[in-house]
Structure 1
Amino acid sequence: MQSFIEQHPIHTKINVAWGEMDALQHVNNVVYFRYFETARIDFFNQINLLEDLQKTGVGPVISENNARYKRPVTFPDTVLVGVTISDIQADRFMMHYNVFSQAQNALTTIGSSQVVMFNFKTGKKANLSEPLLAALKTYSQN
């Protein structure tokens, strides 16, 4: 687990809830997208992206989500969702999620989201701001 934390300086700890399991007695596949969202919002808060949204009206929208399930997770467990960044472009970037089970001491799920910056005032795509670009590069895999 220490290696996972070192590789993912921004990670979010999430307790698995009993109600997240499905009839097959493992966390339902759709729940991982909620885990990704929780980690994404935590990441955005840590780099002040959502604060900028309030000021500028420019913020992130998701144009694509993906998940690959490697191992089932069951209750009780706590997962860590690590976030890294890649493919930074003028108006978008890719977020990568790695879900680590503390009970299994193993990586269970990997995922990604294409994030596009959007100006909610004009209804059009927007470029990454310089502070956002700098923050993203800090956590970039490139």
Structure 2
Amino acid sequence: MDAILQHYPVVTEIPVAWGEMDALNHVNNVVYFRYFETARLDYFKEAALMDDIKDTGIGPVLSETSARYRLPVTYPDTLLVGSRVTKMEDDRFTMEYEIFSQKMGAITTRGTAQVVMFDFKNNSKAKISPQLRETIEAIEARKELPANA
């Protein structure tokens, strides 16, 4: 597993709950977005992004998300969800996720999200602060580089 999620600086462990399965006896497709949300919030916690909202009134808003399902997940299982930021622009950043099933020993799902910084006081988009940009760059620098890099 270490090698599979080595390019993800934040990894979140999530146990699969029985109630997350649907009539076809696998985790319902909607639940994966909750897994992504949990991983995203763990990443935000690492970046102290949610703390900034209290001080600045500026925080993240999810503007777009997607999932690509590769293998069905079933109960019982424990998932490891890797999250990373792959692109930063002036007012937004793109995140990627991979879900690894410990039971299957494989990646089951990949996802992406577009996160826009939003000024809740003025009800408008906001720029990524230099401090947040620096923090995200530091988090991303923690991921392992390929051996030939």
Bin the TM-score by the shorter chain: over 0.9
TM-score normalised to the size of structure 1? 0.95
- The answer to whether the aligner puts 1:69 opposite 2:76 as a matched pair is no
Letter in 1 for 2:6: E
Aligned position for 1:28: 28
Bigger drift between 82-91 and 20-29 goes to 82-91
Pairing 1:1-142 to 2, within 5 Å after superposition: 1-138=1-138, 139=140
Segments of structure 1 that go 5 or more residues without pairing to the other structure are: none
TM-score normalised to the size of structure 2? 0.91
Provide the aligned length of Structure 1 versus Structure 2: 141
Shift of residue 5 of structure 1?
A: 4.0
Secondary structure class of the residue paired with 1:93: strand
CA RMSD of aligned residues (A): 1.3
- Report Cα offsets for 1:23-74 as digits up to 9, x if no partner: 0000000000000000001110111000111111100001101000000000
Q: Taking every aligned residue pair, what percent have the same amino acid on both sides?
A: 52
How far apart, CA to CA, are the structure 2 residues paired with 1:63 and 1:7? 24
Segments of structure 2 that go 5 or more residues without pairing to the other structure are: 144-149
